[in-house]
Structure 1
Amino acid sequence: MDERKLVWTAPGTAGDLNDLPRDVRAVLEIAEIPADPLGDPRLDEVRVLIPPLVRNQADDEYDIKTLVSAASRLDLIQALTAGVDWIVDLVPAEITLCSVRGAYDDLVAELLLAGILAVYKEIPHHANAQAQGRWEPRLVRVLGGSRVLFVGYGSIAERLERYLVPFGVDVRRIARRPREGVDGISELSVLLPGADIVIVLTPLTAQTHGLVDEEFLTLMKPGALLVNGARGLVADTAALVAAAERGKVRAFLDVTDPEPLPDGHPLWSAPGVFITPHIGSMVPENRSRAFAVVRDNLIRWARGEALRNVVNGDY
C-alpha cells in the first residue's frame, strides 16, 4: 500500500476535516501544523498546506514563505480566504494555490446591498439623530433607475447584481479581461462619469493597488456612491477623504486602508462616508463555509480530479 499523503492544516481545524470519504481518508493523513513546523521531522513529507486564516506574526517562529520553501514535497496550498493577495506572491510557480472563492458570495453581496440602501435612505444620519433623540428628516434617494458600474466582476459581483436587478437598476461591468457582457478596464474612464453607484470588487494586485485614486474619483459623477467591498488598498485613502470633504462622492466601505481604521482617523468623520469594519463574512458559520470548499478540494486532489479555485499567476 502506498504511503498516505500528509496534509498540514491550521491549528484547531483538523476536526473540520474528520468526515472525509473513506477512500480519501485512506489516501490522506490530516494533521495540524505543529508548534515548531520548521523543526518538525515530518516537514519534508507535507504535500498539502492549509495555513491559518489569521496569523499573529509577533508570535510566529516562522513565516509562510519560509515554511513553503522548507517543505520540499509541497504540492498544494489551500487558503482559507477568498482573496489571496496576502499569500499569492509567496507561492512558487510549481506549487498550486487555491482559494475558497464562492464561500462568502451571498454574505458579502448582502452586506453591500444593505450598505447601498443605507446610504440611499440616509440611515447613518437618521441613526445618529435617533441616538441624540432628535427628529431630523432628510430627503432620501430611490435605487430604481440608478446606473450601477461594477469594477471587477467575479462571483461576488454576479451575486450582488442578482440582488440589485429587481430594484430596476441599469448595470455595466468592467473586468481586467473583457468578455461577453463585461467591458475591459480600458473602458473605465468612459463609464465612470455616467455611473450613480460604482462598486469595486477587484482582487488586490499590483495593477489594482491604488486604482481608486484622485483621477478615478474626479471622473466619477458628482454625488455618486463609491462602494468598496474589495480591499482597502485598492483605494487611495487620502484622495477619498479629500473627495468626500468637497462633496464630490459618497462612499460605503467595508474595507479601509489602514485596517483596522485607527481612532480619530479622518475617514471616520468624512462627510457622506459610511463604514463597516470588514464584516462581510463575519457570520457564525464562516469557518464551516470555508471548510466546505477546502473539503471538496481535498477530495478532488486525493482522487486526481480538477481542483476548484486555482489561482493563476496573473491573479
Structure 2
Amino acid sequence: MPTRPRALFAMTPGHVSRLFPPEVLDRVRRSVEIDPALVADDFADPRAREALARAEVLITGWGCPRLDEAVLDAAPELRAVLHAAGSVKGFTTPAVWERGIAVSSAASANALPVAEYTLAMVLLAGKDVFAQRDRYRARRAFPFGEIVPGVGNLGRRVGVIGASRIGRRLIELLRPFDLRVGLADPHVDEAAAAALGVPLLPLDDLLRTSDIVTVHAPQTPETHHLIGRRELALMPDGSVLLNTARGSLVDHAALVEELRGGRISAILDVTDPEPLPVDSPLFDLPNAFVTPHVAGSQGNELARLGHTVTEELERLLTGRELAHRIDPAELERTA
C-alpha cells in the first residue's frame, strides 16, 4: 500500500480543532499522514523543524509563521500550502512563488459570512433599524401611527465598491431583493459588470447616487483612505457607509467629523486602528454602529474553511487542478 504524503499544521494551535472538527479531520487523515497534536506556530521549534523537513503539504491558518527562504530551505519536500483562512499575504514571501509551490486559500469560503453580514446590515440600515431602536429605548413607548419618511428597502440604491470575492458574493445575495445595486471597481469592465448584472459606475458617481455604500476593495497602497473627506462629502444626506473590508480604506478622522455633523451614518466591522482606542468617539456617536471584526467566519462557520481545504487536499493528491489556487500575479490587488 502506498505511503500517504506527510503534512503539517502551521497556525495558532487552538485553531485546528475549530477549523477541523472530528469528521473533517478524519477526512484529512485519510489523505495524509499528519499529527493534529503537532501544530507549528514557530518553525524554530525542534519538533516542528523535524516535521517540516518531511512535509509535502502545509495546512496553514491564522498565526502561520512566515514562509521565508530559511524556512523553505528546511522544507525540501514541500509542494503545496493550503490555507484554511483568507488572505495569504501575511505569511507568504516571494520565495514561495519562486519555488513553484502551489498555494490555495479558503478565502472564497470566508467570503460567504462576510457577504451575509453585509446583506443583513444593508437590509437593517434600509429600515433605519438602529436609529429606530434608540428612539424606542429613549421613549419606552411604541410609536403608533408614526411613519418615518425615507425608510424602507423598496428601490433603495446600494453601491458596492470592489468586485472582490465578497463583493461578488454580496451582489448575488442582493439579487432577490427590490434594491438597485451599482458597482465601482477600476479593474472591472462593462462586460464583466453586465455579467454580474449590475451597472458599472465611476466611484464619485456611485457615492453620489447610493443610499448605502458598502466597501469591499482590497487593502493596497492605492486604496489607503479610498473613502476620505472629499468622498464622504459626495454621499447624500441620510446615506450609510458600511465597511467590512479593512479599516485603512476609510479616513476615520474625516468619518468622525462627518458623523458628528449627523448628515450620514456608518456601520463598521473594521476600523483603523483595530481595536479602537477606548476613548474613540465611534463608540458613542449615535449614528455609528461598530462591531468587533465579526463579519468573517465565526463559531461553527470555521468548519467551512476546514472543509474547503480538505477538498483542495483531495484534489491535490488525485492530480486534479486546485479550485482555489492563488495566482501570484493577482495577489497585489486582492485581499
TM range (shorter): 0.7 to 0.9
Deviation at 1:235, TM superposition (A): 1.7
Structural mapping, 1:165-314, within 5 Å? 165-179=175-189, 180-182=191-193, 187-313=202-328, 314=330
- The worse-fitting range, judged by mean Cα deviation, of 211-220 and 284-293 is 211-220
Deviation track 1:271-294 (CA, whole Å, cap 9, x = no partner) reads: 422122222235432221001110
1:37 to 1:21, Cα distance in 2 relative to 1, 3 A: closer
The question of 1:87 aligning with 2:96 is answered no
Instruction: Give the alignment partner of residue 130 of structure 2, picking from 124, 128, 142.
Output: 124
- Contact 1:91 1:97 (C-alpha < 8 Å) held by counterparts: no
Name the residue aligned to 1:44. 53
The question of 1:103 aligning with 2:106 is answered no
- Contact 2:184 2:200 (C-alpha < 8 Å) held by counterparts: yes
Tell me the SS of whatever aligns to 1:305: coil
- The worse-fitting range, judged by mean Cα deviation, of 235-244 and 204-213 is 204-213
Name the residue aligned to 2:66. 64
1:221 to 1:278, Cα distance in 2 relative to 1, 3 A: same
- Contact 1:112 1:229 (C-alpha < 8 Å) held by counterparts: yes
Give the TM-score of the pair, scaled to structure 2. 0.77
Deviation track 1:82-136 (CA, whole Å, cap 9, x = no partner) reads: 3344335576323333221232344222221222233333322333345556338
Deviation track 1:53-107 (CA, whole Å, cap 9, x = no partner) reads: 257xxxxxxx424574454333322222233443355763233332212323442
Q: Which amino acid in the other structure matches residue 173 of structure 2? A: Y
- Contact 2:312 2:323 (C-alpha < 8 Å) held by counterparts: yes
Name the residue aligned to 1:60. none
In 2: Cα distance, 1:294 partner to 1:133 partner: 51
Q: Greater relative contact order (Cα 8 A, min sep 6): structure 1 or 2?
A: 2
Q: Which amino acid in the other structure matches residue 92 of structure 1? A: V
1:50 to 1:277, Cα distance in 2 relative to 1, 3 A: same
- Contact 2:182 2:201 (C-alpha < 8 Å) held by counterparts: no
Provide the alpha-carbon RMSD of the alignment: 3.1
The question of 1:75 aligning with 2:86 is answered no
Tell me the SS of whatever aligns to 1:29: coil
Structure 1 residue ranges without an equivalent (≥5): 56-62
Deviation at 1:241, TM superposition (A): 1.2
Q: Which amino acid in the other structure matches residue 50 of structure 2? A: P
Q: Which amino acid in the other structure matches residue 166 of structure 2? A: I
Deviation at 1:297, TM superposition (A): 0.9
1:35 to 1:175, Cα distance in 2 relative to 1, 3 A: closer
1:182 to 1:85, Cα distance in 2 relative to 1, 3 A: farther
Deviation at 1:188, TM superposition (A): 1.7
- Contact 1:44 1:71 (C-alpha < 8 Å) held by counterparts: yes
Give the TM-score of the pair, scaled to structure 1. 0.82
1:130 to 1:222, Cα distance in 2 relative to 1, 3 A: closer
Q: Which amino acid in the other structure matches residue 116 of structure 2? A: E
Deviation at 1:195, TM superposition (A): 1.8
In 1: Cα distance, 2:154 partner to 2:93 partner: 42
1:86 to 1:103, Cα distance in 2 relative to 1, 3 A: same
The question of 1:30 aligning with 2:38 is answered no
In 1: Cα distance, 2:326 partner to 2:281 partner: 36
Matched positions, count? 304
Deviation track 1:259-314 (CA, whole Å, cap 9, x = no partner) reads: 22232212222342212222223543222100111001111111222112222233
Give the structure with the higher percent helix.
2
Structure 2 residue ranges without an equivalent (≥5): none
In 2: Cα distance, 1:109 partner to 1:202 partner: 13
The question of 1:18 aligning with 2:59 is answered no
- Contact 2:61 2:85 (C-alpha < 8 Å) held by counterparts: no
Instruction: Give the alignment partner of residue 173 of structure 2, picking from 155, 158, 163.
Output: 163
